[in-house]
Amino acid sequence: MSTSPRKRPASEAIVAGGVVLLLIVIVALVFWSGAGNSLYPPKPATDRAHEISNLYNIVFAIAAAIFVAVEGLIIWSVLRYRRRPTDVDLPPQTHGNNLVEVLWTTIPTVIVLFLFVISWDSLNKVDAVSSDLTKTVQINAIAGQFQWQFEYLDANGKHLATQTRPLTGDGSGGMAVPVGRPIHVTLTSHDVIHAWYVPRFLFKRDVVPGQQNHFEFTVDADEAGQTFHGQCAELCGTFHNAMHFDVVAMTGADFDAWLAKLVEQANATQPPPPSGAPILKVEAKNIAFDVKTLEVAANAPFVIDFKNDDPSSITHDVQIRQSDGTTVIQEQAAIPGGSEQNYQYNALPAGTYKFICSIHPVANMTGTLTVK
């Protein structure tokens, strides 16, 4: 076999080594300067999130080391071993080496087993659920296309009240939680698969119809007053991207007051519609209103007797908007499928308006309200 040992100028090794070193320096600088922070999770806000974030840091450090080592080796080989015009004879025909094969099988095996063990250990903490639910705040999260409802239960698991609107800002649902107390969430869906996801909790769990998933977390005490953005993370249909919710962390006292108020509202008997106010009937079924046009007198309050005939996980409401279809004038709390409510609206000046389900703003759930 015609091979020749290679004699190469030392300058080549210096150049190749320099480039590899430069790569290492750049990676180090990116992280040292803080520019690498966007590769790290957002600030964890729960006990579980701290656990996951710490695990992430370990995995990231190992991953970065492997990346720099192997990528460096590739770049070194590519730069160092260019074929030169003088390379006529073949390089040494190395067919392999059993020792290095064993080494680069064993060492990675040890590394991944280590990662598996610390992940498993961490998983047991993240997935832990209290055996005694009376010490937790029990919340049922019910996901439906394209709305979240959060049911609050008492210590015995009895239904207290349901929060159907976001607590702050936009979205299609919201939950309030006390800091420092374990929260036990039960997930239910009656239509398709959704996923409960809050980025700052570093956690998501699928909401699977026909199956109840549970998880727990405790929000850090110093997060009281914070609002966390959450959203559905499993494709669930046309308005999947709009299925936001917010999680508002409160001090224990604030939460208790908030919940008491929610229960009070839920138990309050609805005041009867002002006598003489006209009552219009609207029904929703299969994500569609049964009427497309309504007519009321100008400058007089009116009532819509709204019935939701869809499955219980699907909520609807009837908002009055300007004729542009986007500017909201009057809104109502959404009601779950299988229920009925008298929505009371204030007097409107004469004109043409839209009535629309804010949760399903599709053509089938939009109609024209004429006020004259």
Partner 1 sequence: MATHALSPAAIPAYRGGLLEWLTTTDHKKIGIMYVINSFLFFLIGGVFALLVRTELAVPGIQIFTNEHVYNEAFSIHATVMIFLFIIPMLAGLGNFSVPLMIGAPDMAFPRVNALSFWMLPLGGILLLSGFLTPGGAAAAGWTSYPPLSEKLAQSSPGPGQDLWIAALILIGTSSILGGINFLVTIFKMRAPGMTLFRMPIMVWTMLVTSVLVVMATPVITSALVMLYIDRNLGGSFFLPDQGGMAVLYQNVFWFYSHPAVYVMVLPAMGVISEVLPVFSRKPLFGYRAFIFATAGIGALGFSVWAHHMFTTGAVFLPFFSLMTFLIAVPTGVKMFNWVFTLFRGQLTFSTPLIFAIGFLTMFLIGGINGAFSASVPIDFALQDTYWVVAHLHYVLFGGSVFGMFAGIYYWFPKMTGRLLDEGLGKVHFVLMFVGFNLTFFPMHMLGIAGMPRRIADYADPSWADWNLLATVGGFMIAASMLPFLWNVFISLRNGKVAGDDPWEGNTLEWATSSPPPPYNFDRLPEIRSERPVFDARHGLVAHGGHGGPIEEEAPKALEEGHVDNQGPGGAS
Q: Minimum Å distance from CB 285 to partner 1?
A: 9
Phi-psi region at 138: left, alpha or beta (left = phi > 0; alpha = psi -120 to 50): beta
Residue 10 is a binding residue for partner 1 (CB under 8 A): no
199 closest CA partner among 344, 53, 324 = 53
Contact by Cβ (8 Å): 262, 161: yes
Q: What are phi and psi of 231, to 5 degrees?
A: -160, 160
Say if residue 89 is exposed, middle or buried (CB neighbours under 10 Å; 0-12, 13-18, 19+). exposed
Residue 232 is a binding residue for partner 1 (CB under 8 A): yes
Q: In one letter, which amino acid is 81?
A: Y
Q: In one letter, which amino acid is 149?
A: Q
Q: Minimum Å distance from CB 344 to partner 1?
A: 29
Q: Minimum Å distance from CB 10 to partner 1?
A: 16
Q: Minimum Å distance from CB 240 to partner 1?
A: 6
State which of residues 233, 282, 320, 334 lies at the interface with partner 1 (CB under 8 A): 233
Name which of 64 and 300 has its Cβ closer to partner 1: 64
Which residues in 128-157 contact partner 1 (CB under 8 A)?
145
Residue 42 is a binding residue for partner 1 (CB under 8 A): yes
Name which of 148 and 302 has its Cβ closer to partner 1: 148
State which of residues 9, 92, 271, 276 lies at the interface with partner 1 (CB under 8 A): 92
The DSSP line for 267-334 is: HSPPPPPPTT--EEEEEE-SS-BS-SEEEE-TTS-EEEEEEE-S-TT-EE--EEE-TTS-SEEE----
Q: Minimum Å distance from CB 371 to partner 1?
A: 28
Q: Minimum Å distance from CB 210 to partner 1?
A: 2
Of the ranges 61-69, 151-159, 266-274, 337-345, which one interacts with partner 1 (CB under 8 A)? Answer: 61-69
Binding mask 169-208 for partner 1 (x = CB under 8 A): -x-------------------xxxx-x-x-xx-xxxxx-x
Say if residue 297 is exposed, middle or buried (CB neighbours under 10 Å; 0-12, 13-18, 19+). middle
